Amino acid sequence: MTQQVSGSPFLKPFFLKTPVRVVSPLQQRRHTLPASEFRNLTPQDAISVFEIEREAFVSVSGECPLTLNEVLNFLGQCPELSLGWFEEGQLVAFIIGSGWDKERLSQEAMTRHVPNTPAVHIHVLSVHRHCRQQGKGSILLWRYLQYLRCMPGIRRALLICEDFLVPFYRKAGFKGKGPSAISVSNMHFQEMEYTLGGQAYARRNSGC
């Protein structure tokens, strides 16, 4: 698998070591896609992102964390705070974040990106319906947090979630900050925080 995100050491492409063999251009396979790739999302990925998000959230809560226009907005303003997992060129899971400059998240944080801030607001983590129950959400979140460690100046990651998701994020290292001031269609959330510190490191046998 390869990763192509922002040039940080953790996210540079890596390959299994194999003997070097010279192959003529005529022998090379064209249009070969990597089996598994992690990279920043772009506005061109917005439709795929929104389709996965809509299927995952509308069927459960009736609401999407981000509209298509908001997806396009964040991927245009801060693509470096997103991460997509692609398998053979197809998006299977993603995270979208934006910058935030206050201690707690507010309603304004749902649609605003504040550049050059020490905190990242994770808006949405979603996995394609055919790839769920495989641990992909946990793997992607772990990689995203390690990626944030490599970004100068970022010290915290914040998010809101429903009560039933609190154990998932606690297992990933997030700590509760109490009930969120944000509400969407009479839905209430818990706010959680992950403190970033130290350097990113490579985890063996990550399963991805």
Domain of 124: which CATH number? 3.40.630.30
Is pTM beyond 0.75 here?
yes
With H, G, I as helix, E, B as strand and everything else as coil, classify residue 128: coil
Asked whether residue 29 is assigned to any structural domain, the reply reads no
Residue 18, in any domain of the structure: no
| Domain that includes residue 85, residue range | 36-195
**DSSP character at residue 89:** T
In a domain, 84, yes or no: yes
pLDDT in tens, the chain (208 residues): 444 444 333 333 333 233 334 444 444 444 566 689 999 999 999 999 999 999 988 665 567 889 999 999 999 999 999 999 999 999 999 999 999 999 999 999 999 999 999 999 999 999 999 998 899 999 999 999 999 999 999 999 999 999 999 999 999 999 999 999 998 888 899 999 999 975 544 443 333 3
Structurally, how many domains does the chain consist of?
Answer: 1
Distance CA 99, CA 95 (A): 14
The phi-psi region of residue 135 (left if phi > 0; otherwise alpha if psi is between -120 and 50; otherwise beta) is left
Residue 143 domain flag = yes
Strand order in the sheet with 82-87: 2-4, 37-39, 82-87, 90-100, 119-127, 156-161, 187-195, 175-184
DSSP-derived 3-state class of residue 75: helix
Q: Give domain status of residue 6, yes or no.
A: no
